[in-house]
A and B are shown apart, each in its own frame.
Chain A
């Protein structure tokens, strides 16, 4: 099975979860030229990132290609306890996607 493109570090302190994600993705805007061929590299970027906890969406991020390559995302939410699972998923403009679950420490 292919490795996930999403790395998650999540900690819970006093009911508040702090989540950090690092995602492997080229995040091409579609405006960059290939140095060798001179052709435009087609747009290929994550459009949406969703994080779910306990059946609810805690974060829904909508992105353009101007989010950096190998994007980083951090956010916080309450009502969490250590040991809870969270699920992070993304969809890009070509229709590709990935999802990962992680246990919060």
Chain B
């Protein structure tokens, strides 16, 4: 499937800049933003979020997904998460934090030559299971880990 280029809107992040970044193969701004799955990101429970983002909420536990996350997060505002999927034809990886107000944190859509690997830093409101969901060959696989978020003693 042809991945569309995007037109980049009004200006750079620095407020007041007037440069306009345009790339070939344009999409209008509304179409770019419309691609963002609002319902998925606003869903208040995991199943609704998965349905809206990946098309289904039925997942199979898989040991071919490695989820690296701390046992106890140093700070709930920045929790490093790495997902590695050894499942063939991994096309998307989602990160779900069950106890966050809106569980779906991110969905990474991978190109055909992109490895099943993604690393980022997420916010966690409290101790929760963190689940990595992998979409491969039309099916969903998952693995979870409980990550504790604590109140530090040093004002952390």
Contact = CB atoms under 8 A, between A and B. Distances in A.
Q: Do A and B come into direct contact in the complex, CB within 8 Å? A: yes
Interface of A: 1-5, 16, 24-25, 29, 31, 47-48, 50, 52, 56-69, 71-79, 87, 89, 91-93, 95-99
Contact of A96 (B11, B41, B80, B121): B11
A96 B33 CA distance: 11
Contact of A97 (B8, B100, B110, B123): B8
B107 interface: yes
Interface residues on B, range: 35 or more
B89 to A, nearest CB: 14
A68 B75 CA distance: 11
A48 B35 contact: yes
A47 B36 contact: yes
Interface stretch (B12-20, B56-64, B131-139, B140-148): B12-20
B109 A75 contact: no
A77 B121 contact: no
Interface of A is mostly: strand
Interface string B100-129: 111011111111111101111111000000
B72 interface: no
A64 B104 contact: yes
Given A2-B19, A4-B12, A78-B115, A67 B6 contact: no
